């Protein structure tokens, strides 16, 4: 898919203009930390982490799938997406427990009944209960459900999370250095706390995925899931929502709607067993495999041992997205990167595999005058630099 088509749909994988805008805010003491932190005014020994994110346009596809199949469980997945996009960003600075979450839902009441809201709340509660089994306390702190049908076509599901991290455990990414290796944690498969196969898609690039994969039939049946002004680039794929996918027992709609995997239980164990050994963490969300570029200093990160491409990304690419744009938009197989000394990598990989998450060294760091990320892919080498 060309950049022009992507922009026509009103989205940007890099969100450069957003990053330019927020530079006007007061500079943070830790410019390369994955999340902004502030000193906790009630406890000088820790930082406060306040974060906001959501399921994005994945909720529009969930709406179409729910209408098509009547399956309310899809909304539990959307709740997980909104939750994990917050919690797993926050764990990148070391906040892995005692997290407070407030949900914000904007709906078109004429299309989204109370049973959908109930399913989303149930999804939040199920996620909280799963995490409790691993000693992780997440507190649901209410939120807001607004009926904004004149603004929202179907539904938007967001969340705001508050967490804390001790200053002695805070991960600023300032310690990422030449000689470090990058351990990647797979985004796909089925780990210990997941109920079924996870495609690995997460909650990024769904505008591209749903419009390039699914056919005009979806547009005709559910015109409320897209803006009529982009009709020429909306739902231009060949698949129906209930077509069989390459993964046994999962249809195309379910494949693309796989809930975002959380790494919280694993990373809690990693933090406990390897305190002080984690040099940096990057959550490969918006910006895909080039997200790393924003969190390094005078380094070239070479990723030359990437995971095999999961089926969902192969399908999206074959539906019209150019390979380089795929790596700029999607995680393409691993969504969390851990920067460590090479001698510490085997322990992390072992802990991950014990929980059903594939893990491997996917790259390494070299000294460089210009920050750069270099990808060795089956489609050639892709490089992005920041001067």
Pairing of strands 334-340, 280-283: antiparallel
On average, the pLDDT of the chain sits at 93
Q: Where are the domains of the chain?
A: 3-386
pTM for the whole structure: 0.93
The answer to whether residues 82 and 53 touch, using CB atoms and an 8 Å cutoff, is: yes
List, for residues 147-204, the tens digit of each pLDDT value. Answer: 999 999 999 999 999 999 999 999 999 999 999 999 999 999 999 999 999 999 999 9
Task: Give the pLDDT confidence of 2-61 residue by residue, as tens digits.
Answer: 455 556 656 655 555 554 655 555 556 788 999 999 999 999 999 999 999 999 999 999
Q: Which fold has domain 3-386?
A: Phosphoribosyl-aminoimidazole Synthetase; Chain A, domain 2 (3.90.650)
Other Cβ atoms less than 10 A from the Cβ of 265: the count is 20
Q: What distance in Å separates the CA atoms of residue 71 and residue 148, rounded to the nearest whole number?
A: 24
Whole-number pLDDT of residue 23: 57
Model pLDDT, residue 29: 73
Q: Are strands 155-166 and 299-303 parallel, antiparallel or unpaired?
A: unpaired
155 is written with which tokens?
């539904």
* pLDDT computed for residue 320 by the predictor: 84
């Amino acid at each position: 898919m060309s950049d022009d088509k992507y922009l026509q749909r009103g989205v940007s994988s890099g969100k450069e203009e957003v990053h330019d805008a927020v530079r006007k805010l007061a500079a943070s003491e830790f410019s390369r930390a994955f999340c902004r932190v502030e000193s906790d005014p009630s406890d000088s020994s820790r930082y406060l982490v306040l974060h906001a994110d959501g399921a994005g346009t994945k909720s529009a596809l969930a709406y179409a799938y729910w209408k098509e199949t009547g399956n309310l469980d899809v909304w539990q997945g959307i709740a997980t997406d909104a939750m994990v996009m917050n919690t797993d960003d926050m764990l990148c600075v070391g906040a892995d427990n005692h997290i407070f979450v407030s949900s914000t839902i904007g709906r078109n009441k004429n299309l989204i009944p109370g049973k959908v809201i109930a399913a989303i709340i149930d999804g939040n509660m199920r996620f909280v209960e799963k995490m409790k089994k691993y000693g992780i306390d997440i507190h649901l702190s209410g939120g807001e459900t607004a009926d904004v049908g004149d603004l929202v076509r179907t539904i938007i599901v967001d969340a705001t999370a508050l967490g804390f991290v001790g200053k002695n455990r805070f991960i600023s990414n300032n310690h990422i250095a030449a000689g470090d290796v990058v351990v990647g944690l797979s985004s796909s498969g089925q780990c210990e706390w997941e109920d079924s196969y996870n495609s690995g898609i997460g909650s990024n690039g769904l505008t591209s995925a749903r419009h390039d994969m699914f056919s005009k039939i979806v547009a005709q049946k559910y015109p409320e899931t897209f803006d009529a002004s982009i009709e020429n680039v909306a739902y231009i794929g060949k698949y129906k929502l209930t077509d069989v996918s390459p993964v046994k027992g999962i249809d195309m709609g379910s494949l693309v709607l796989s809930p975002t995997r959380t790494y919280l239980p694993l990373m809690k164990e990693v933090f406990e067993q390897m305190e002080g050994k984690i040099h940096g963490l990057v959550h490969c969300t918006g910006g895909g495999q080039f997200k790393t570029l924003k969190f390094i200093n005078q380094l070239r990160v070479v990723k030359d041992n990437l995971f095999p491409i999961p089926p969902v990304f192969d399908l999206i690419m074959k539906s019209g997205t150019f390979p380089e744009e795929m790596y700029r938009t999607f995680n393409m197989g691993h969504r969390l990167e851990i920067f460590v000394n090479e001698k510490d990598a085997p322990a992390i990989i072992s802990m991950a595999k014990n929980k059903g998450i594939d893990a491997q060294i996917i790259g390494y760091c070299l000294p460089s005058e210009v920050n750069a990320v270099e990808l060795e892919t089956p489609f050639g080498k892709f490089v992005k630099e920041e001067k």
